[in-house]
Structure 1
Amino acid sequence: MKTIQEWTDENSLIKDLIDLKEVLWINPKYEPFQAGIKNLPLNDGNVKDAEERLNRFAPYIAKVFPETSKQNGIIESPIADIPHMKQKLEQMYGASLPGNFLLKCDNALPISGSIKARGGIYEVLKHAEDLAIQQGLLTHETDYAVLDSEEFKNFFSEYSIAVGSTGNLGLSIGIMSAKLGFKVTVHMSADAKKWKKDLLRSKGVTVIEYKEDYSKAVEEGRKQALSLPNCYFVDDENSHDLFLGYAVAAIRLKKQLEDLKITVDENHPLFVYLPCGVGGGPGGVAFGLKLIFQDSVHCFFAEPTHSPCMLLGLVTGLHDQVSVQDFGIDNITSADGLAVGRPSGFVGRTIEPLLSGSYSVSDDELFRLLSTMADSENIYLEPSALAGVLGPVKLISEAEGKEYIQNHHLTDKMKNATHLMWATGGSMVPKETMEEYYRKGKNLSL
């Protein structure tokens, strides 16, 4: 591998990342959809299969998680119009921001209160279905509500599930696995918040804590799974199932936008800003969106300045062969869901031709945006969920963003644009913790 000096001589953006500066990077490997999709390992058939599986499980979900019964067991979040936040962003950054501003409220997803309720819950359900079908206990024609029975709980109790997490994925995997009857262990990195560990333990989940970061938690989870019979490891770094669970969000989003009478086409571009940790959640969502909206959607990842792992992986082309620590970046951030030092190689390579770009945000900025969102829209998010909110500002006011708009012939279309920020978590944050976040944001805004 090149030395840091060689990398920074070759690319000034890498020096800015090392200096913990906020950056906007436009992906030089971004391709028109039909070219970009050609050599990818997954397709729309895989996403439809995942959607059908979630539909089969809906009667069970509605039965065991009553909060989903209004939606008949479909785990989905609303879209919020955020005009007041748009005005605040224009004031804060002295920029005119054309287009419609929406928030995809995955902070309000039922069961585990974050985007991880999509991929994490889906992978556990798929594993449960595979086991039950193999044993002749279930067919696709069965009413899956039967899974809520002593027979199935006893059956699943013979099996265990393990995962490594900074917090939110662990919540989704832990809550869902325990509900089905699996023995489940969540390996938590140093960044994981205490309340997340406490909540998991209250559900009967075994939580193992590490002083090191996310990569160590994943490594130990993988080791445990290999050493135990009947133990299934949810591999956040490489899982196709997690990725497809997230991708189903795009099918649901299409209908939501139609219901809101929002057009997405060549003259009405959709810009989507996705907070990114290891990459599975935003990668899966972006993949699904590109399958549906093709060249009319422009997806950007957002990462903390202290943990820009996917950005480094893409900029260097080394993907999972490089970590932020290799460049002297500490991977310490209040955006705990994004505190990842090494990106998913599978996601990086899959999303590379489909991703418009990526940017980084400082922790202080996340807190300022957190308190501003609370004041302007009465929506309370965890710090990592605010990373997407800065996207339109970066795109519209920075030189690289302006160039992207011009190169893709979008200048005259920006007034018709929809900017969708993906709010990845927040509703399960304890009240006193959220008040602390809010106060910090207010103090930084003075």
Structure 2
Amino acid sequence: MLEFDSKGRQVVAALQTRREYFWFNPERNKCNKSDIKQVPAGLAEMQEAANRLKRFAPWIAQEFPETSGSGGLIESPLVRIDHMKRKLDPAAGVAGQLYLKRDDILPVSGSIKARGGIYEILKLAESIALKHGLITLADDYSVLSAPHNKDILSQYAVAVGSTGNLGLSVGIISAKLGFQTEVHMSADARQWKKDKLRSLGVKVIEYEDDYSSAVAAGREAAAADPKCHFVDDETSEDLFMGYSVAALRLQKQLETEGIRVDAEHPLLVYIPCGVGTGPGGIAWGLHQLYGNNAYVFFAEPVESPCVCLGLATGLHENISVQDIGLSGKTEADGLAVARASGPVCQKVGAFLAGCFTVEDEHLYRLLSLLKDSEGISLEPSALAGMPGPFALTTEAAGKTWLAQQGLTGKLANAAHIVWATGGSMVPDTEMKSFIERGRN
């Protein structure tokens, strides 16, 4: 029998209604800068991850020509979405500027997973290449494209469990490096993602069960092969650090745009959340850089709010959404996760601002509205963060929280960033059906 306190019971009861809900993290109020010491990796490790990506930039630019303009850097733009803001907020009740972080057009795999997934595989490739004397840290890593080097990498294997986008990112980069690659995909994964991977020579293994089952099966299969590296979305420190580099990149973009972040200029970020590793890495990175001047919220589907559930009850990975009667099923395939990452809950629990839930049909309406107002096409899960700024600043619970945080009078100076997590690789026919569904 699962046990939690009265506040946990209140949150569970709210989640069980399957209505959109905003949860504010009470632990945040106890947080100060010293709390970040609980995380073993710090700014130095985040910078080390960024440096590793720079070392691989020549190879990335060579293998993925779409990155040549950025010198092999896999990064996305930060854009203002004033038309969308006016559509969603005609009464101009939301103070501050609204931005979209466009990870939907990240090069290579077109989703936020290009950050963590690709980083972990590049770190693995570097380790193997150094071990075999294929490179030194001072070398131009584009030599890894040489056939004899790829032959050595092909003696190793990579496996990953995924609902879709992580498998796509890991599969694309692993296949390009020469690794034997196996992607274990849950029933929630969309067919076009499986087809894309198979076209690259990746072995795709499908499961009738959910995300956790696919991850467990992949983990077990990889354990039997000493030359197989398993990308573990639930516990991987490398994935987490790969995502955290996004905070360093965003810091530069904010500086370029002249956007200040300090006590008088709060930064509010809204990120779609599945198991939690991606948004967790970004949130942690932003906390390293901005401390309590960054307020990060995770957005989850009403049927699979696993991180909200794990944090609010304090049970982290020891409770699943099915335990409280939810299905875990959602049209937002990348967010169809029933059980949160325990390590991520431990790392972000002290400073995360909160979580909120979104109905599937709301995602489709937002998808169509963004297309019509800004000409931007996202997949459904990538819209999960969009209701955040509006619910936070116009609903009673949000207004109360803003007042408690001393933010009410500062919102005019605020930057709201909605993180778009994927969409550019969705086939045209499927995207058209998404847009039509949102209009009906």
TM-score range (shorter-chain normalised) is: over 0.9
Alignment match, 1:63: 62
Pairwise CA distance, 1:399: 2.6
Give the alignment partner of residue 26 of structure 1, picking from 24, 27, 35: 24
Deviations 1:135-188 (A, max 9, x none): 222211111010111011100110000000000000000000000000000000
Pairwise CA distance, 1:95: 6.5
Q: Distance in 2 between matches of 1:224 and 1:8?
A: 41
Pairwise CA distance, 1:29: 0.8
Q: Answer whether contact 1:77 1:104 (CA < 8 A) is retained.
A: yes
Q: Distance in 2 between matches of 1:182 and 1:306?
A: 36
Q: Distance in 2 between matches of 1:9 and 1:293?
A: 29
Question: TM (normalized to structure 2)?
Answer: 0.98
Pairwise CA distance, 1:409: 1.1
Give the alignment partner of residue 339 of structure 1, picking from 332, 336, 341: 336
Deviations 1:18-45 (A, max 9, x none): 1211110000111444132122222111
Q: 1:280 to 1:146 in 2, by over 3 A?
A: same
- Aligned partner of 1:115: which letter? I
Pairwise CA distance, 1:115: 0.2
Q: 1:69 to 1:9 in 2, by over 3 A?
A: closer
In the TM superposition, 1:7-406 aligns within 5 A as 11-30=9-28, 31-91=30-90, 96-406=93-403
Pairwise CA distance, 1:9: 8.7
Matched, 1:407 2:416: no
Pairwise CA distance, 1:86: 0.5
- Aligned partner of 2:309: which letter? L
- Aligned partner of 1:2: which letter? L
Q: Distance in 2 between matches of 1:58 and 1:2?
A: 48
Q: 1:206 to 1:375 in 2, by over 3 A?
A: same
Q: Distance in 1 between matches of 2:32 and 2:380?
A: 32
Pairwise CA distance, 1:402: 1.4
Q: Distance in 1 between matches of 2:69 and 2:432?
A: 30
Q: Distance in 1 between matches of 2:14 and 2:99?
A: 30
Identity across matched positions, percent: 53
Q: 1:368 to 1:7 in 2, by over 3 A?
A: farther
- Aligned partner of 1:205: which letter? V
Q: Answer whether contact 2:76 2:105 (CA < 8 A) is retained.
A: yes
Tell me how many residue pairs correspond in the alignment: 439
Pairwise CA distance, 1:7: 6.8
Q: Distance in 2 between matches of 1:174 and 1:38?
A: 34
Question: TM (normalized to structure 1)?
Answer: 0.96
Pairwise CA distance, 1:407: 1.5
Alignment match, 1:2: 2
**2:387 is paired with a residue of what secondary structure?**
helix
Pairwise CA distance, 1:16: 1.8
- Aligned partner of 1:18: which letter? Q
Instruction: Give 5+ residue unaligned stretches, structure 2.
Output: none
**1:389 is paired with a residue of what secondary structure?**
coil
Once superposed, which parts of structure 1, at least 4 consecutive aligned residues long, lie more than 4 Å away? 6-10
Task: Supply the RMSD in Å over aligned alpha carbons.
Answer: 1.3
- Aligned partner of 1:362: which letter? E
